[in-house]
């Protein structure tokens, strides 16, 4: 009976993480399009939500489970998964509250690493995997995207700088719709898979599914796709505002260079088997497209805050994951611990969303956008 | 521990990603440039010049669409 309750809690928590992943990462695909008025805010998040939903059905490669190669799979239990998810959700909510883009994948890996460490000690963690899959990509993604987007915007200005701004802006707004759509589809494919993988792992641990790497049941695919699409549709407006207009005043050509350049970097990396964080790549590209035009136009203090959030993602999510695991075990190995923690988190989320509804109106397109 | 990183893929990424990005952005730049110049040439009554700019925009558009299709293939190939 207890294992059934824990399974239900883990599935619900995984879907809650998927939802936060959707609204946290909406900004990557749509922030620049909204800022440059390529798309109206509601249209942008609706399009992104639909493409995230569709993207979730493209791939069911659950073998690529989260934290694979980073944490010893033999030591992962449903309680470790639960605690890792709580760590990731908490960090996603904290960074969303402060309007800071950060990697949901790194938060999830951090949460699972922390929970596994609390459960089994250092032998559960593979340092090489952590270096290869988290630390090096976190350093490479923003730098490559920054330099690439910088080069892209310089080439763009060279090509169209002497043309009438009206037709140029219309052209780049149109291009942004294509790049935003591709990014949304790619996000749905990559990130919904993580939730499918977690739920499938929990089903295997529970004994509902057999075999070393079974395909996820259809209801898992549909529910993961729905959760990420609903999260995307709800719109992480605070982060959208940061990415789209707070870092600097973006024109449509810069928006396209950041988004198109960032997408090209991401997909090239994915093709080479060197997956990078969407958040790190797009944020780096946004900064690069701004800095190449004018260094002083970029709010480097805000960029510094974002960098601090990236550095803190892994340890902070790990700390929450470890504490969650520890608290859960105080109540024994049954369902009471996860149940109490889940209820507490739901109350926290309700309080944060209530506060957002009172103080955080959706981002509006800038009236002065060219 | 540094041996854990696939340095060949990393190096390839460092040169291939900017080339891919610059190709996409330049291709769309050709579309924007060609379309704008073609409009100006048409207004000036220079039809041959307009046709050449339309062809330039078409070439850029074809490269851009190819890049999008390639991106879709990369995305779907993961399945």
In the predicted structure, residue B32 carries a pLDDT above the cut 60: yes
In the predicted structure, residue A115 carries a pLDDT above the cut 90: yes
In the predicted structure, residue A364 carries a pLDDT above the cut 60: no
Residue B19 in any domain: the answer is yes
Note the pLDDT of residue A127: 86
Residue B1 in any domain: the answer is no
**Residue A197 token pair:** 């993988």
* Closest-CA residue to A176 (of B49, B10, B7, B24): B24
Q: Tell me which chain B residue has its CA closest to the CA of residue A147.
A: B18
Task: In whole angstroms, give the CA distance from residue A140 to residue A128.
Answer: 17
**Residue A187 token pair:** 């996000």
Residue B45 in any domain: the answer is yes
Look at the alpha carbons of A127, A131, A133, A134 in this order and tell me if their dihedral is positive or negative.
positive
Residue B12 in any domain: the answer is yes
Across the strands, what pairs with A71? A68, A125
The HSE-up count of residue A70 (CA atoms within 13 Å, CB side) is 25
Say yes or no for a CB contact (<8 Å) between B76 and A267: no
Task: In whole angstroms, give the CA distance from residue A314 to residue A105.
Answer: 10
ipTM of this predicted structure: 0.89
Residue B14 in any domain: the answer is yes
Task: In whole angstroms, give the CA distance from residue A266 to residue A340.
Answer: 39
Residue B64 in any domain: the answer is yes
pLDDT range class, residue A66, cuts 50, 70, 90 = low
Q: How many domains does chain B have?
A: 1
Say yes or no for a CB contact (<8 Å) between B4 and A132: yes
Please tell me the least confidently modeled range out of A32-46, A307-321, A347-361.
A347-361
Note the pLDDT of residue A365: 45
Average pLDDT value for residue range A227-247 = 89
Across the strands, what pairs with A68? A71
Q: Per-residue pLDDT tens for A200-217?
A: 888 887 788 876 667 888
* Closest-CA residue to A47 (of A22, A65, A30): A30
Residues of B in contact with A129 (CB under 8 A): 4
Domain extent for B38? 8-69
Nearest by CB: B68 against A59, A140, A182: A182
Say yes or no for a CB contact (<8 Å) between B33 and A178: no
Task: In whole angstroms, give the CA distance from residue A99 to residue A77.
Answer: 33
Q: How many helices (H) and strands (E) does chain A have?
A: 13, 0
Say yes or no for a CB contact (<8 Å) between B32 and A270: no
In the predicted structure, residue A54 carries a pLDDT above the cut 60: yes
The whole-model pTM stands at 0.87
Q: Per-residue pLDDT tens for A283-312?
A: 999 999 999 998 998 999 999 999 999 999
Residue B57 in any domain: the answer is yes
Residue B79 in any domain: the answer is no
């Amino acid at each position: 009976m207890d294992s059934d309750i824990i399974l239900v809690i883990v599935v619900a928590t995984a879907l809650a993480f998927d939802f936060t992943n959707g609204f946290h990462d909406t900004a990557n695909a749509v922030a620049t399009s909204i800022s440059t008025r390529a798309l109206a805010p509601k249209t942008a998040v609706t399009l992104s939500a639909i493409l995230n939903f569709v993207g979730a059905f493209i791939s069911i490669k659950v073998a690529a489970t989260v934290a694979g190669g980073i944490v010893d799979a033999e030591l992962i239990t449903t309680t470790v998964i639960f605690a890792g998810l709580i760590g990731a959700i908490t960090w996603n909510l904290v960074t969303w509250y402060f309007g800071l883009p950060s990697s949901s994948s790194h938060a999830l890996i951090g949460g699972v690493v922390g929970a596994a460490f609390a459960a089994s000690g250092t032998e559960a963690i593979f340092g090489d995997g952590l270096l290869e899959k988290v630390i090096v990509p976190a350093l490479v993604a923003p730098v490559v995207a920054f330099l690439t987007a910088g080069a892209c915007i310089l080439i763009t200005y060279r090509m169209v700088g002497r043309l009438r701004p009206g037709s140029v802006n219309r052209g780049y707004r149109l291009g942004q719709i294509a790049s935003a759509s591709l990014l949304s589809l790619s996000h749905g494919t990559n990130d919904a898979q993580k939730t499918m993988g977690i739920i499938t792992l929990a089903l295997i641990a529970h004994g509902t599914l057999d075999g070393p790497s079974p395909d996820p049941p259809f209801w898992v695919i549909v529910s993961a796709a729905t959760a990420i699409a609903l999260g995307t549709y709800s719109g992480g407006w605070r982060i959208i505002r940061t990415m789209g207009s707070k870092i600097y005043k973006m024109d449509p050509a810069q928006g396209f260079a950041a988004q198109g350049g960032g997408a090209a970097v991401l997909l090239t990396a994915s093709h080479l088997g060197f997956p990078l964080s969407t958040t790190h790549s797009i944020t780096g590209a946004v900064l690069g497209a701004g800095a190449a035009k004018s260094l002083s136009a970029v709010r480097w203090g805000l960029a510094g805050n974002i960098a601090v959030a990236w550095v803190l993602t892994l340890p902070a999510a790990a700390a929450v994951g470890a504490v969650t695991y520890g608290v859960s075990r105080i109540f024994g190995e049954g369902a009471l611990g996860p149940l109490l923690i889940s209820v507490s988190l739901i109350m926290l989320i309700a309080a944060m969303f209530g506060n957002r509804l009172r103080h955080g109106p959706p981002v509006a397109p800038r009236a002065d956008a060219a | 521990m540094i041996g854990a990183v696939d340095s060949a893929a990393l190096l390839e990424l460092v040169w291939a990603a900017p080339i891919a990005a610059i190709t996409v952005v330049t291709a769309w730049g050709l579309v924007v440039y060609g379309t704008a110049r073609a409009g100006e040439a048409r207004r000036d009554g220079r039809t041959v010049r307009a046709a050449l700019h339309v062809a330039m925009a078409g070439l850029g558009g074809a490269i851009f669409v190819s890049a999008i299709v390639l991106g879709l293939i990369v995305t779907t190939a993961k399945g």
